[in-house]
Amino acid sequence: MADTETPVVAALAAVDMGSNSFRLEVGSLQQGRYRRVDDLRETVRLGAGLNADGELSEEAIERGLACLHRFAARLSGFAPAQVRAVATQTLRQAHNRDSFLLPAQAVLGFPIEVISGQEEARLIYAGVTRLQPSDEARLVVDVGGRSTELILGQGHTPRAAESFAVGSVGLSMRYFGDGRFSAAAFHDAQQAAGAVFEPALQTFARRHWQQALGSSGTAGAVSALLQAHGQGDGGITPAGLRWCIERCIAAGHVDRLDLARLKPERRPVIGGGLAILSALTAQFGIDRLMPAKGALRQGVIVDLHQRLQAQPLVVCGDLHNGAAA
């Protein structure tokens, strides 16, 4: 009997150049199911290098280029149609973005798109719904380093999507830049975040959705530390956020903050992240925000897969090294 041939599935790669961290994910979709092959992450803090004049510092640029040099080694052998690299809010804001983008594309070996907030929101929703499908009406929240995306949708279809220029890095630099925590600083940060979201109160109101999901490092970090301290089962609640903020205020300074499972790279931006999540739960009536399984990088891979379905790419490479013969 002749052997049954197994079709070769192309490995696809997404490079997500966020304001706090850069991520490289390699994955594929097989029979509609997402398979992760590799996931690399580095804390670059590109957004922390953006000054008040909207200029990226040389130090931040160098950190980003060094990370992309390491990513380029992993992407060796990938065809252009197998890779999409996207940059988000920091590079949307930076006046000197070309000082980073031109050498970055040379180092990475692939084009880099500075995507709009709307495109970022669309891709986030695509990643969440592919990895965590549901027929319920959902609100998806992604608190990034310098922007926050809100997406309302059902199934795989987003009905409303907005991006807001407030994130954990920017808000932390503004209100907790010296590392100090105080009740007044948290109050001011929450008020500032709330004001940004106010125009969208009706669009994303509680009556429009049944479940709220948090897709970001901020939501994942807060969920993990709440669970580690016995504050629920991983769901982010208003009470849990108050508990976290009270712990910050009691510590007085980020260096004295003792929270289990709070990673070193997350500590400098936890104040801003908590303030944004607190504002979101208050503004939109979120009584429970569950961490989502998907995110922007998976959405990029889903989108790449759909493009290849329209224009098939013949790849005879190894899923584990991405090499194309």
Give tens-digit pLDDT for 224-234. Answer: 999 999 998 99
pLDDT at 325 over 80: no
Residues 220 and 211 sit within 8 Å (Cβ to Cβ): no
What is residue 318's predicted lDDT score, i.e. its pLDDT?
42
- Two tokens, residue 324: 């194309």
At 264, phi and psi to the nearest 5? -55, -40
Helix (H, G, I), strand (E, B) or coil at 136: coil
Between these two residues, 2 and 244, which has the higher pLDDT value?
244
pLDDT at 41 over 70: yes
What is residue 176's predicted lDDT score, i.e. its pLDDT?
98
Residues 260 and 225 sit within 8 Å (Cβ to Cβ): yes
Give tens-digit pLDDT for 149-193. Answer: 999 999 999 999 999 999 999 999 999 999 999 999 999 999 999
Q: What is the pairing mode between strands 21-30 and 33-43?
A: antiparallel
Amino acid at 3: D
Q: Which domains does the chain have, with CATH numbers?
A: 12-117+296-310 (3.30.420.40), 133-291 (3.30.420.150)
For the residues 141-151, what does the mean pLDDT come to? 97
Give residues with Cβ within 8 angstroms of 296, minimum separation 6. Answer: 14, 16, 18, 86, 88, 120, 123, 124, 127, 142, 215
What is residue 315's predicted lDDT score, i.e. its pLDDT?
47
Q: What is the pairing mode between strands 137-143 and 148-154?
A: antiparallel
